Amino acid sequence: MKQAGVILASASPRRRELLAAIGVSFRAVSAEVDETPRIGEDVSDLVRRLALEKARRVAGSEKESLVIGADTLVAVGGRILGKPSDAKEAAEMLYSLSGRSHDVLTGLAFVKSDELLEENCVTISKVTFKNLSAVTIEKYVATGEPLGKAGAYAIQGLGAGLIERHEGSFTNIVGLPVTELLGFLLRFGTERIKWEPLR
């Protein structure tokens, strides 16, 4: 049986690291899509749609490859938090998360065009922040880590110090729910993709 190449439709270094950590041989291709929510679209539907759009965008020119798309957002009090555009917005996001629980949602999509295969799912984890002082927020933002991260923090980095507890998938909070990913690959057929030896 011919093996399918695997493409990660994402520029995220965290997703690349997680996929490499489980031994999947892949290449990463950035997929730009309009991430504006549609009227009446809730956050779960939004991350599902964006993950699928990213995977489809790449799969259109990579029909024999298995394309994996993902999109992660944070939701708190009915507000959707994506990636902050600057330090000021990062600080505002962190103030809104301080002392509260929020949901981290990741849409995950798998597309293989030559087999008309499309699957997707949404994984939700809950994170509770400590009460953050203005000084803590200022110092964390000054590290630069919040930029480029949904919700303006990285649980796998210095941002772990802001967190009181989390429930659900840790890798989902980082940006790629590995349990759900491996579940799909087992159904797809692990023999159909190339694996790298784990060190």
Q: Give the contacts of 135 (CB within 8 A, at least 6 positions apart).
A: none
Q: Distance of CA 120 to CAs 48, 57, 114, 136, Å?
A: 7, 15, 17, 38
Active-site choice (71, 86, 103, 114): 71
In the chain, where do the E strands start and end? 6-9, 27-28, 66-76, 79-81, 101-112, 117-129, 163-167
- Return d(Cα 81, Cα 150) in angstroms, integer: 6
Tell me how many degrees the CA angle 81-35-72 measures, rounded to the nearest 5.
50
Q: Is residue 42 among the annotated active site residues?
A: no
- Return d(Cα 199, Cα 192) in angstroms, integer: 22
Smallest Cα–Cα separation from 73: which of 95, 41, 105? Answer: 105
Return the SS3 of 130: coil
Question: Do the beta carbons of residue 193 and residue 6 sit within 8 Å?
Answer: yes
Eight-state DSSP code of residue 24: B
Catalytic residues: 71
